[in-house]
Amino acid sequence: MGRKSQARMLKKRTDARKKNPVVVAVVLVSFVALVSVAIYNFTRQGDSTEAFVTLSNAPVGATSQVTGSDQVTGDSRYPAAEDFTLTDIDGNRFTLSDFKGKIVILDFMGAQCKPCKQQVIELTKVHSAYGDKVEILSISVYGGKGINEELHTFASSYNVKWRIAVDIEGASFKYRITLIPSIIIIDQDGYVRFRHEGVAEAPTIIQEIKAIQGEA
């Protein structure tokens, strides 16, 4: 074999070695992208369970309620609500602390989440019972293009008469939301008095409101 032939063979082997890492990298990137899309679609569809939709590694089937019995040390028997500022789907900016002096219900949800649709039906009953005396804030944990239009359609379909906003500033992280729907009730002084993961029925929410008001 001549020197020219040996040189050509050596060049081919060198080129093959250079191409292999590139191919491996492309395959890995494609795999990661496919897995990410699959995970997103799973949580986005919201039909994986009748009770709630899991957003992270929370055990499937787990629900929890936090009431006044879960006390912490400090100035109050209850944990202080984390403040946040959001803009609702009508373009109005608001801060949680704006509603101090009123009972506030935080509804962490998603428009495509099947259990969230049931939750909003329960919240409509609560709103019918209390009107503007209790502030309800529905907060979508999903964002993206066209989300405001989607939430407007959702509000119209379910006769929602309270604020709906998209969580673009991390309110769900402040409240450690891992499942939707999640309901959190905050009292007039800004303390968390109730927490429920999964659909909370209207009688349960009303009972907690009455307890906060001293009626129960």
Q: How large a percentage of the chain has pLDDT more than 70? A: 64
46-62 burial, b at 16+ Cβ within 10 Å, e below that, comes to beeeebbbbbeebeeee
One DSSP character per residue, 180-195 reads: ESEEEEE-TTSBEEEE
pTM above 0.85, yes or no: no
What pLDDT score does 63 carry? 37
Residue 34 predicted with pLDDT over 60: no
What is the mean pLDDT of the segment spanning 156-182? 96
User: Which residues make beta-bridge pairs with 196?
Assistant: 65, 183
Q: What is the pLDDT of residues 131-149, one digit of tens each?
A: 999 999 999 999 999 999 9
In the numeric block, the tokens 């009431």 are attached to: 67
What pLDDT score does 157 carry? 96
Q: What is the pLDDT of residues 64-93, one digit of tens each?
A: 444 443 444 344 589 999 999 999 999 999
Q: How far apart are CA 197 and CA 149, in angstroms?
A: 26
What are the structure tokens assigned to 53, written together? 């939709």
Q: How far apart are CA 161 and CA 180, in angstroms?
A: 20
CA 114 to chain CA centroid, Å, is 14
Rounded to 10 deg, the angle between the 202-213 and 114-130 helix axes is: 40
Q: Which runs of consecutive H residues, i.e. helices, occur in the chain?
A: 3-45, 114-130, 147-157, 171-174, 202-213
Q: How far apart are CA 163 and CA 136, in angstroms?
A: 7
